[in-house]
A and B are shown apart, each in its own frame.
Chain A
């Protein structure tokens, strides 16, 4: 019988094959080429070596060295339209001839931006050079543009100074990761959920700050506070609407983890839907000069970020160590069933953990937004580093998350000084993550228990 079904099925398909090639030809419009969406549905556009469509070919030369090509510099192209903000269309790194090829959607005006961090060591742009170049593409196909820059040799900074600068930015980055890691660790500790949507909670904080700042027009500081409050509310709502019902249904932890992947994918695309794929910045504190504090120099905002994160982390730790709420959280994380049977409202505690955890994570996003820029992928890119920090210290322990994140942050920023290629400086942290999992899966400060 089964055989008969398959025969029938194959007959139907065979009939389809027998359709004369042109029987339905009029229904196939030649303009729509159904095979066009090639490759993967990934959001990042693939760069082809020589694109079929429109592209801009930028040649980057150093006019102070007689037009010598400048290789390995990242150029970003953004489309400019009147009345709207520039929208990123692509980026490329210049090759040995100083040439970068970036695909564009069509004719229009584009701005090419040079990433100063990718300039060769010991070279800086001189004052006569702008990092931006405007190009008008009038026709389809290729648009060629020359991008002359002027460079000047800078005095080779002594290693100790480079080290202290890298250390400082490492500490700053580590603290930002620590805020998010604290949130992840709290949620993991109490619910056991490995939240793959945690990166999106970072983005959410930054995005809300952007909306309150640019959309409503609040000053950055007020917008930041509002964003943290809104994040906390989102944490509460998220728990109430999604995770609490799942816990009540008795959904397994791995199922919840996969749900969080779906949730992350959903949020990420909603973010991109609302703000687009370009990088945005807040209205204040964008470019700040640095001040010298003894051997180190910091911009005011960087100092503020360090102080705010330190204070927040200290307060959180005190709350968790000293108050009733903290005790309850630790009790639930230790043994939910026992806590419930000794009269604690486990669900309330978990709800509080979600509020606190998401608020901390949101704050991390707000500070990241003030530190640099806002992008729909910023949190997702940080997610694995946050995981690395939490795992390094020990999943579910507060001090561990803190310690691990600082190590990861410093490693990422200081690594390039010791020969880690700067374009893949995150790789070191990920390698550490894997090594820790292998050698000591409970983390450095974690309790010894069998988890493997």
Chain B
């Protein structure tokens, strides 16, 4: 890796600003239009969000000393693009396929529900962990599903198999990924990137196979997994007993309707806990990565040997990064186990790691918000696509000709698209939406 001309790991020396840099007003306009576009305005304001975003970027690039807020301008543009794509798809389909065929409202509702719902949170947490590994330290960990599995099983086994209190289960769930990181890291962190990838993916598969084996059924519950451990978590659901949104009114509501979205009380509780966790993790990552410790991690990513020659113990820092990212992964597993109220070994397959990587790469590695935005966009797209094609193939006389696609095939299209998307993303925009191309450790050694 070359480090001569650029050193993104160290903070840019600020050229003694004579006046505070300000955000051009176009940025705000673009973001507001973008948000309106994907929510209330049904996409109609989105093209304008792109235009305003472009103007803002041009203005900032022209005079970077006076203006900042480029990432926000990019957010506006991206929101605009998402909304415009949706608008075009919606209009084209409504008029060509006919209104009877596909209810685009339904598609949007499902997509938004999933983008804000618990599933996106699971992937956001997992991707935050991968961000620490891959984005900041350059460790290619393909075994994130393994960290998630030990987190989830840590809780379930403690509560169900060993019959211990819930709180102890949470502690075990947080301790298990740390232990896994230590055991995995001591030998493998010395390996080259591709070897590390193979070693971690193999570890995750070993864990999944052992958890699902018939022989260990008495401990891990075999292929059916474990359940009946999340009672404490569900009982703590504030929405069950107390109507936060309607104090004094009739107690209890079945579902919360937010514009076209709708969440059950159970999901709502999971979302509150989940987004708090995500915020907390982001805060930790943000704080750590601007510290000297974080700068050192990025330096390791850029040139390990250079850091070593400065007398730093690279191995120890890599290990700390592996533990921290693994802990976030374990948290993702723990959260998945809580919100789903059952742990099933087949959930923790390699696909899960790959999808978490996709989420990270969409948002942009080595950015605090990258994995979170990425997970939301990923879930928006894949659940929207699923709903769309399910509707297109449903019924006796489906919109889509059956020789082309039937109902069982409809749910596969999104993964075909995810695969293609990952390839295209890696080829054309490896830095994702927010990232910096020079900061992605993809050049190999």
Contacts and interface: CB of A to CB of B under 8 A. Distances in A.
A115 to B, nearest CB: 12
A269 B412 CA distance: 6
Interface in B408-445: 408-409, 412-416, 418-427, 430, 441-444
Contact of A437 (B191, B222, B256, B259): B191
B166 interface: no
A254 B138 CA distance: 10
A368 B418 CA distance: 28
Contacts of A437: 187-188, 191, 195, 198-199
B443 A255 contact: yes
Contacts of B202: 384, 387-388, 430, 433-434
Given A12-B36, A28-B262, A265 B419 contact: yes
Given A42-B349, A194-B198, A273-B416, A27 B426 contact: no
Contacts of B245: 17, 21
B94 interface: no
B280 interface: no
A43 B36 contact: no
Of the candidates A29, A32, A251, A267, the one having the most CB atoms from chain B within 10 angstroms of its own CB is A32
Contacts of B351: 40-43, 265
B355 A434 contact: no
A263 B420 CA distance: 7
B357 interface: yes
B72 interface: yes
Contacts of B264: 35
Interface string B100-139: 0000011001100110010100100000000000000000
Contact of A16 (B31, B259, B336): B259
Contact of A27 (B190, B203, B260): B260
Of the candidates B198, B246, B346, B418, the one having the most CB atoms from chain A within 10 angstroms of its own CB is B198
A49 B342 CA distance: 9
A2 B68 CA distance: 9
B27 A261 contact: no
The prevalent SS among residues of A at the interface is: helix
A269 B214 CA distance: 28
A19 B258 contact: yes
Contacts of A47: 223-225, 344, 346
A424 B213 contact: yes
Contacts of A452: 190-192, 195
A252 interface: yes
A246 interface: yes
A152 interface: no
Interface in A30-83: 32, 34-35, 37-49, 72
A255 to B, nearest CB: 4
Interface string B186-230: 011011111101110111011001100111000000111101000
Contact of A37 (B114, B213, B418): B114
Contacts of A249: 427
Contacts of A358: none
Given A266-B419, A273-B416, A434-B199, A255 B382 contact: no
Interface in B263-291: 263-264, 267
A424 B354 CA distance: 23
Given A42-B347, A42-B352, A263-B423, A438 B188 contact: yes
A239 to B, nearest CB: 15
Contacts of A388: 202
Contacts of B225: 46-47, 49
A312 interface: no
B140 interface: yes
Contacts of B209: 424, 426-427
B65 interface: no
A24 interface: yes
Interface in A376-402: 384, 387-388, 391
A39 to B, nearest CB: 6
A28 B194 contact: no
A446 to B, nearest CB: 12
B235 interface: no
B340 A269 contact: no
A216 interface: no
B22 interface: yes
Contacts of A194: 194, 197-198
B398 interface: no
A254 B1 CA distance: 12
A92 B284 CA distance: 42
B113 A255 contact: no
A39 B425 CA distance: 25
Interface string A418-445: 0001011011001101100110010000
A295 to B, nearest CB: 30
A1 interface: yes
A257 B197 contact: yes
A302 to B, nearest CB: 26
**A-B pairs, 7 with minimum CB distance:** A266-B419, A262-B422, A253-B444, A265-B419, A252-B443, A262-B423, A34-B113
Interface of B: 22-23, 27-28, 31-32, 35-36, 39, 69, 72, 105-106, 109-110, 113-114, 117, 119, 122, 140, 187-188, 190-195, 197-199, 201-203, 205-206, 209-210, 213-215, 222-225, 227, 245-246, 253, 255-264, 267, 336, 340, 342, 344, 346-347, 349, 351-352, 354-355, 357, 361, 382-383, 386, 408-409, 412-416, 418-427, 430, 441-444
Given A8-B28, A24-B257, 15 more contacts: A12-B32, A21-B245, A21-B256, A34-B114, A44-B346, A254-B194, A257-B140, A259-B422, A261-B422, A262-B421, A265-B354, A267-B419, A387-B198, A430-B202, A434-B206
Interface of A: 1-2, 4-5, 8-9, 12, 16-17, 19, 21-25, 27-29, 32, 34-35, 37-49, 72, 87, 92-93, 192, 194, 246, 249, 251-255, 257-259, 261-270, 272-273, 276, 384, 387-388, 391, 421, 423-424, 426-427, 430-431, 433-434, 437-438, 441, 451-452
5 contacts: A12-B35, A19-B257, A255-B430, A261-B422, A262-B423
